[in-house]
Amino acid sequence: MAQHWQELIPIDRYLVTSNGLLHEYDRKVLTFLYQPLIGSTCLSLYMTLWAELEENRLWSESSTHHLLMNLLSVNLKDIYEARLNLEGIGLLKTYVKSDESGRSFIYELHPPLNPEQFFLDGMLNIYLYRKIGKNHFSRLKRFFSDKQKSLEEDYVEVTRAFQDVFASATPGSLQYMQEHSEELEAEPAQEFIGRQDQKPIQIDTSAFDFEMLMAGLNESLVPQKSLTKKVKEVISNLAFLYGISPIEMKNFILGAINEKDEIDIEDLRKGARDWYQFENYDQLPSLINRTQPAVHLVQLTEPKTQEETLIRYYETTPPIVIFKELSGGVEPSVSNLKILEEVMIKYKLPPGVVNVLIEVVLRKTDMKFTKGFVESIASHWARLKIKTVKEAMEAARKEERSFKDSKKTGKSTKQKPIRTEVLPDWFDDKGKESVKEPAKENNTELEARKRAIEEKLKAFRK
């Protein structure tokens, strides 16, 4: 995956266009429904691009990304990441052209979903509920809804139909329209200003293994015609949202088949949601990236050393899995999960960096995961703008070397060790050069956990 400076530089020019006329009401939808999911930087980028469009216009003048950096007071990396988030959530499409004069972009703004589409989406509404909680979610539903109109019984509709008011065109007028039909259409290379309804978020159906699903359903005599296009789209979204495999999805489909051999979509959604909440202590999924974002991956080649293997493992494994494995298979408590989520949201640390933080904290505090110690490291790494696993591991090494040097020189340090730390192998710089046998630990329990992690790394390499 290319770095941001390979994809974008300050002198690259861009134009802003709109897929449809954006309304003032869209600002409220973006602020209250989308901003909790994408963050303030993404919203600021969208609003700034929108502001570059003159009123009732569909195209802006050409600008450079350097101007955009000054307007937003952020660096180019933040702009690039915000752009990717807007693209992912369906608010932006990007087009690029390269020639001898340089590189230029077209940013096509897409309107947000209307409130009804958003609250019935099946993905975004669940992420929002998970993010802001039940009370605020209910408040937003009230904010974006109103009482239904109910006419009293005494009222009778007297509205006239079109044909009751207007007469049909005469043959002469029809001939006139045919002769001047070109004048009625838009001018060449022009288009009428309008707006189409925004389509909901849809996960590509090719991302789900429907062949494996059908193999299981054939055994259960489920007709293939029940898997309509709409049902397949819902299955793909649910599989992404809840992390459901084709084997598990089969059970939900069997529970959603009605007497007409059709799959009830609402029953399918409810079955998947109930299963996820049962498996995850009544929690709903969060929009937090489950693994390291592609823009922050560093181990792109096949790992050759123990450290490279570990980097790849941290980049491709969710923090909750790392926490569970380092804890000997024990599920993290609700408070532990809350701390992890706060670290990723409050300090904007990518999942791979959080994985390194988890190991550092658990190793140095005798497997305790205290909020104060976690936040002290997280805030430090956030100030250092650490975004990759390799940077996090190097920061941990540097801090450990500084601590050891201060002990040798007899200088005091603010951070007092709770015990004699059992440090990860990668704290040793020599680990970069070759794979070495891990040192034996006195603590039998810790050694067993370490062996379990090494077995997972071996399986991962295979």
Q: What would the pLDDT profile of 418-450 be if each residue is shown by its tens digit? A: 445 556 767 765 545 444 444 444 456 667 766
Of 143 and 449, more confident: 143
Kindly report which listed range (137-141, 155-159, 298-302) carries the lowest average pLDDT score.
298-302
DSSP state of 33: I
Over residues 284-296, the pLDDT tens digits come to 666 444 567 666 7
Same domain, 407 and 432: yes
Among 434, 172, 161, residue whose Cα is nearest residue 306: 434
Residue 287 lies in a domain: no
Asked if 395 contacts 381 with a C-beta cutoff of 8 angstroms, the reply is: yes
Distance in angstroms (rounded) separating the CA atoms of residues 351 and 332: 16
- State residue 196's pLDDT score: 65
Structure tokens at 58: 């569909």
- Neighbouring-strand partners of residue 17: 59, 108
Kindly report which listed range (25-34, 155-164, 174-183, 261-270) carries the lowest average pLDDT score.
174-183
Query: What percentage of the chain has pLDDT greater than the value 90?
Result: 24
Same domain, 234 and 345: no
Same domain, 306 and 438: yes
User: How does 49-88 read in b/e, with b if 16+ C-beta sit within 10 Å?
Assistant: bbebbeeeebebeeebbeebeeebebebebbbbbbbbbee
Overall number of domains in the chain: 3
Domain boundary among 50, 79, 113: 113
Residue 329 lies in a domain: yes
Q: Which residues contact 154 (CB under 8 A, 6 or more apart)?
A: none
CB atoms within 10 A of CB 40: 11
Residue 327 lies in a domain: yes
Same domain, 413 and 273: no
Q: What is the mean pLDDT of residues 135-158?
A: 83
Domain boundary among 113, 140, 169: 113
- State residue 51's pLDDT score: 92
Same domain, 451 and 308: yes
Distance in angstroms (rounded) separating the CA atoms of residues 455 and 220: 37
Q: Which residues contact 403 (CB under 8 A, 6 or more apart)?
A: 413, 415, 417
| CATH code, 50 | 1.10.10
Of 257 and 45, more confident: 45
Asked if 12 contacts 104 with a C-beta cutoff of 8 angstroms, the reply is: yes
Same domain, 24 and 99: yes
Same domain, 260 and 311: no
Residue 182 lies in a domain: no
pLDDT higher than 50, residue 70: yes
Residue 193 lies in a domain: no
Residue 61 lies in a domain: yes
Distance in angstroms (rounded) separating the CA atoms of residues 85 and 36: 13
Of 84 and 1, more confident: 84
Same domain, 255 and 315: no
Same domain, 380 and 249: no
Residue 137 lies in a domain: no
Tell me phi and psi for residue 132, to 5 degrees: -105, -10
- State residue 56's pLDDT score: 67
Q: Does pTM surpass 0.75?
A: no
Same domain, 241 and 104: no
Q: Indicate the SS3 state at residue 34.
A: helix
The sheet carrying 92-99 orders its strands as 63-64, 13-18, 102-109, 92-99
- Strand pairing category for 102-109 and 92-99: antiparallel
Domain boundary among 93, 113, 133: 113
Distance in angstroms (rounded) separating the CA atoms of residues 140 and 28: 11
- State residue 434's pLDDT score: 45
E strands within 75-198? Answer: 92-99, 102-109
Same domain, 299 and 433: yes
237: containing domain: 205-279
Same domain, 315 and 266: no
Residue 163 lies in a domain: no
- State residue 181's pLDDT score: 61
- State residue 457's pLDDT score: 61
pLDDT higher than 60, residue 387: yes
pLDDT higher than 70, residue 361: yes
Over residues 325-339, the pLDDT tens digits come to 888 888 777 778 778
E strands within 32-90? Answer: 63-64
